[in-house]
Structure 1
Amino acid sequence: MFTSGLLRKTLIVAALAFSVSIVHAADAPLRVGASPGPFSDFLQEAAKLANAQGFPVKVIEFTEPTQINEATQSGDIDLNNFQHVPYMEKQNASRGYKIVSIKPSFVAPAGIYSVKHTSIQSFPQGAKIGIPNDPANEARALYLLQKAGLIKLKLNTGLNASVTDIAENPKKLKIVLLDEVQLPRVLTDIDAGVITLNKGVLAGLNPKDALLLEDKTSQWAIIWAARADRKDDPRIQRFIKIFESDSVKQFIISKFNGAVIPAW
């Protein structure tokens, strides 16, 4: 009798503790990871709306992109919004993460920028073109150069394309792999560079000055991503719904004069 009574009390205490943990989780601030710059600005705008509704959301900026997925995997943050699917897949494969894409949020187009030339057609033979040296954005840059008519990639080349997949290079472009952060700084030393919007804006570049930008068909849309076991957290769905409100959409469009394209 004593044992069963003690067991019953133990089970009741455990149930109460579990109930409290659920309430605490539901009331805890949603922690969203982002890179500094426009991506974070969009999230901060949505977080203001959420907090005004009594829904606590905290946007946490990381200067080093690889730290964002690390924090997502470790549980230090609940959600992130800074990367495209190819980058996420590379991180999962190389680091053993279990991070999944929930849905696209917006397209922040990469562009071809130059301070030496006013058009792509004016690129000379042997022009030096800088592109990001991380594999995911290397492929992205190559597809944009192909869209510009500067190169052709081998047939059936996927989203892991590298410079070795170039099948045709009629202008004999010298494609140089550089750290993405350095690309805006070396534009005076090269003919052109393929630069992502976030890094470009942080360096003072105007997307309107790009010789060519990606459009809404880009396969490199920025996504909402979370650890697989947290993707169904109702707080995440609530925040995404707030982000997809008309007011945040207009904020995104007006901030970049339509250069950044909402994906909903």
Structure 2
Amino acid sequence: MKRWKKVVKSILSIGVITCLAACGSQGTQAKDAKLGDAVTVKLGVMGANTDVWDDVKERLKDENITLEYVNFSDYNQPNRALADGSIDLNAFQHQFFLDNYNEEHGTQIVSIGQTINEPMGIYSEQVKEIKQLKKGAKVAIPNDVTNGGRALLLLQTAGLIELDQAAGQTPTIKDIKNNKKQIEVVELDASQTARALNDVDIAVVNSDVAVDAGFIPAKDAIFLEEVNEDARPYINIIASRDEDKDNPIYKKIVEVYQTDETIKVIEQTSKGSQIPAWKSFK
């Protein structure tokens, strides 16, 4: 119950902040600023956990840069706000998600730096191990193309289904070739997967959503994605508009983020659930 009280509180606060920030902000001051100028940069983030960015934000003050968070409640909002100029940068998505978003919406948003890899996990309030899952179990996964495909691939790795290899990294439910346990797959918005745990047997949950729900992925997931070369498309990034990718202020933010100080904070706050991507992937 404590987990869900925390989730409800976070969702209510996020909704208020999102409306104030996204609805009232048109244009920013960082676009034409020079390095050394006193400037505020609006950073779009998902969820309530900003522990790592809080540390970066404090160190950016030495560079005369004030980082202002703009919180969003679903995965479609931060890129929309970045494209229309309401924010300067966002940091919530992996490269694969961004590539798909650009293709679907005709936007020109680009990565300007890697942040972390967050292994996707399978969670449950009903069973402690995958093998305990009964025939006909109900399974929640994200409903967007990239995270939904990623979730199905994880279910395959866990031995629950077999997928058509021709589907590559973006399989859908229609690509399930073998479903021995006859699991019922329910597609939900990625932000709702953890909240569905009372209604399903297992849920495949993005790490940031799991953390906001009170989980420690490395400890609480009953099955966790491996961090290897196959995880490269899922490296999280800092994104900007293509026209601003060489902005010296934004480059400085990436530089301050990609430091040993940040690695220490990641290790302390995530308890092994996040991997510094710029160090782990070359």
Q: Provide the residue aligned with 1:232 in structure 2.
A: 246
Measured after TM superposition, the shift of residue 80 of structure 1 is 1.2
Q: For residues 74-153 of structure 1, what are the structure 2 equivalents within 5 Å?
A: 74-153=84-163
Counterpart Cα distance in 2 of 1:184 and 1:22: 37
Q: Provide the residue aligned with 2:227 in structure 1.
A: 216
Measured after TM superposition, the shift of residue 81 of structure 1 is 0.7
User: Does residue 163 of structure 1 match 2:173?
Assistant: yes
Deviations 1:154-212 (A, max 9, x none): 12322322111112222221111123233222212221010111111222223111011
Q: Provide the residue aligned with 2:255 in structure 1.
A: 241
Measured after TM superposition, the shift of residue 22 of structure 1 is 8.8
- State which of 37, 48, 73 in structure 2 corresponds to 1:37: 48
Measured after TM superposition, the shift of residue 152 of structure 1 is 1.7
Residues 52-61 or 230-239, more deviating: 52-61
Larger radius of gyration: 1
The letter for the 2-side match of 1:232 is D
The DSSP-based 3-state class of the residue aligned with 1:156 is helix
Residues 106-115 or 77-86, more deviating: 77-86
Q: For residues 12-51 of structure 1, what are the structure 2 equivalents within 5 Å?
A: 24-26=33-35, 27=37, 28-38=39-49, 40-51=50-61
- Cα separation, partners in 2 of 1:143 and 1:22, compared to 1, 3 Å: closer
Measured after TM superposition, the shift of residue 47 of structure 1 is 1.2
Aligned length: 243
Counterpart Cα distance in 2 of 1:30 and 1:115: 40
TM-score, normalised to structure 1, is: 0.84
Q: Which runs of 5+ in 1 are unaligned?
A: 1-20
The letter for the 2-side match of 1:239 is I
Counterpart Cα distance in 1 of 2:275 and 2:142: 22
TM-score, normalised to structure 2, is: 0.79
Counterpart Cα distance in 2 of 1:67 and 1:185: 20
- Cα separation, partners in 2 of 1:48 and 1:78, compared to 1, 3 Å: same
Residues 227-236 or 155-164, more deviating: 155-164
Measured after TM superposition, the shift of residue 23 of structure 1 is 6.9
- Cα separation, partners in 2 of 1:129 and 1:241, compared to 1, 3 Å: same
CA contact (8 A) 1:43 1:59 kept: no
The letter for the 1-side match of 2:170 is N
User: Does residue 259 of structure 1 match 2:273?
Assistant: yes
Residues 183-192 or 240-249, more deviating: 183-192
Measured after TM superposition, the shift of residue 25 of structure 1 is 4.8
The letter for the 1-side match of 2:202 is A
User: Does residue 194 of structure 1 match 2:204?
Assistant: yes
Q: Which runs of 5+ in 2 are unaligned?
A: 1-29
User: Does residue 67 of structure 1 match 2:77?
Assistant: yes
The letter for the 2-side match of 1:30 is V
Q: CA RMSD in A?
A: 2.0
Q: Provide the residue aligned with 2:17 in structure 1.
A: none
The DSSP-based 3-state class of the residue aligned with 1:65 is coil
